[in-house]
Amino acid sequence: MTADICVIVPTIREYECLRSYVENAHEHGFDIDRLHAVLVTEDFCATDAMASMLDDLDLTGEIFDGTAREEWYAEQGIAEFSHLVPAASHAETSFGLLYLWANEFEYGVFIDDDTRPDPEDDFFGTHLANLAYEGGIESVRSDEQWVNVLHQNADEHGLYPRGYPYSAMDETIETDETHVDNVVASQGLWTHVPDLDAARILADGDLRGQSETRLSRADYGEDFVAGEGQFLTVCSMNLAFRREVVPAFYQLPMDDNPWDVGRFDDIWSGVFLKRACDVLGTQIINGGPLCEHHKAPRSTFDDLRSELPALEANEHLWTIVDDAAEGAEGYAEAYAAMADALVAGEWDDYENGDFLTYVGEHMHDWLDCLAALGSDDVATPAAARADD
């Protein structure tokens, strides 16, 4: 069978995490011939061991360290766009999106290497069922125009996820029933270590980047969507999506930039994706499948240094694109309109506001890169072994 799901794993540490996801697929009867793994890593990592793991798992896939990525760019004729994917950054998940686009996979799945699937959930099966779902589902909105994806037990734990604007806290939540019929992304949530920003982790009394508060399955209820016109944080550690959203889902130029901004790649890409979904009448389901987040201890202050240069911009980014792209007829058109809004604006009032212009310019480059790649010039990889 030809693989139709590109599983993208950015890793410099725990690449063996992939074993647990393949084991979960076997345990729940999911056909692993549908999966093709792309491990995005660095030259200093154990790529031979990664290839051996794929072979041992009988899983198709490729490993791309920095050298292999540069070779791939040259082979595809897009070397001029290599700046879009920063090295040694979580944002290198964008390389997986380029690979998916060039090889015409129908679906993508992001998995972080510090996660494991919850054994109770059929990880891949649940994500694919979410993407195919049509029917009734809970819709959530707030008077701050933001939905806390951890809202279901927030009265108990009081948590807001990484990227949630501070100005949107203490919101009033309303829920309703809605009908969805065009789901393009499935965001699975997480137990154990919550995905918080550094300031909130410090407030929780933890100096090792993890937070003292922990989450469990009991903290979550039924799946839900954020209502039209509402924003939410999108974390890429446990996320499935349709190919069609790739033009509006670039993971943004983090870490290796003049302002040293990091850790907003998936957050800001989620803001842009949600706006595009609202314009196009599509939806993002949130909830299951759950994964266990085993974040490695590290200095909370290191994360704070990465986040601090863009904390103010994060409070305002969503307002800049909130009325952009009206009338767009596709994800690329919607994304281009949001990029225009960032490039054309004057951001002198925001600390490091020029970073917003920089992001908008890279968003345009992303669309140009996808256009250069095309979608018909590279065949979808068949179920061949990783060492073929």
Pairing verdict, β 183-192 and 283-293: parallel
Q: Is 235 helix (H, G, I), strand (E, B) or coil?
A: coil
Round to whole Å and give the CA distance between 244 and 253.
21
Q: Is the peptide bond before 289 cis (omega within 30 degrees of 0)?
A: yes
Helix (H) or strand (E) holding 165: none
pLDDT at 374: 85
pLDDT at 182: 98
Ordered DSSP codes for 126-160: HHHHHHH--EEEEEEEETTSEE-TTGGGHHHH---
For 83, other C-beta atoms within 10 Å of its C-beta total 12
3-state secondary structure 30-61: CCHHHEEEEEECCCCCCHHHHHHHHHHCCCEE
Query: How many Å is the maximal CA-CA distance in the chain?
Result: 55
Query: Looking at residue 171, what DSSP letter applies?
Result: P
Q: Identify the structural domains of the chain with CATH numbers, from first to last.
A: 5-373 (3.90.550.10)
pLDDT at 2: 87
The amino acid at residue 209 is: G
For 6, other C-beta atoms within 10 Å of its C-beta total 26
pLDDT per residue rounded down to tens, the chain (388 residues)? 589 999 999 999 899 999 999 999 999 999 999 999 999 999 999 999 999 999 999 999 999 999 999 999 999 999 999 999 999 999 999 999 999 999 989 999 999 999 999 999 999 999 999 999 999 999 999 999 999 999 999 999 999 999 999 999 999 999 999 999 999 999 999 999 999 999 999 999 999 999 999 999 999 999 999 999 999 999 999 999 999 999 999 999 999 999 999 999 999 999 999 999 999 999 999 999 999 999 989 999 999 999 999 999 999 999 999 999 999 999 999 999 999 999 999 999 999 999 999 999 999 999 999 999 985 432 333 333 333 3
Contacts of 174 (CB under 8 A, 6+ apart): 140, 141, 142
Distances (CA, A) of 133 to 126, 182, 240, 248: 10, 8, 13, 21
pLDDT at 185: 98
Helix (H) or strand (E) holding 309: none
Contacts of 58 (CB under 8 A, 6+ apart): 32, 385
For 384, other C-beta atoms within 10 Å of its C-beta total 11
In DSSP terms, 136 is beta-bridged to: 179
Q: What are phi and psi of 381, to 5 degrees?
A: -65, 135
Pairing verdict, β 5-10 and 183-192: unpaired
pLDDT at 202: 96
CA 211 to chain centre: 21
In DSSP terms, 7 is beta-bridged to: 37, 109
Round to whole Å and give the CA distance between 75 and 81.
13
Distances (CA, A) of 19 to 93, 113, 140, 293: 19, 11, 35, 15
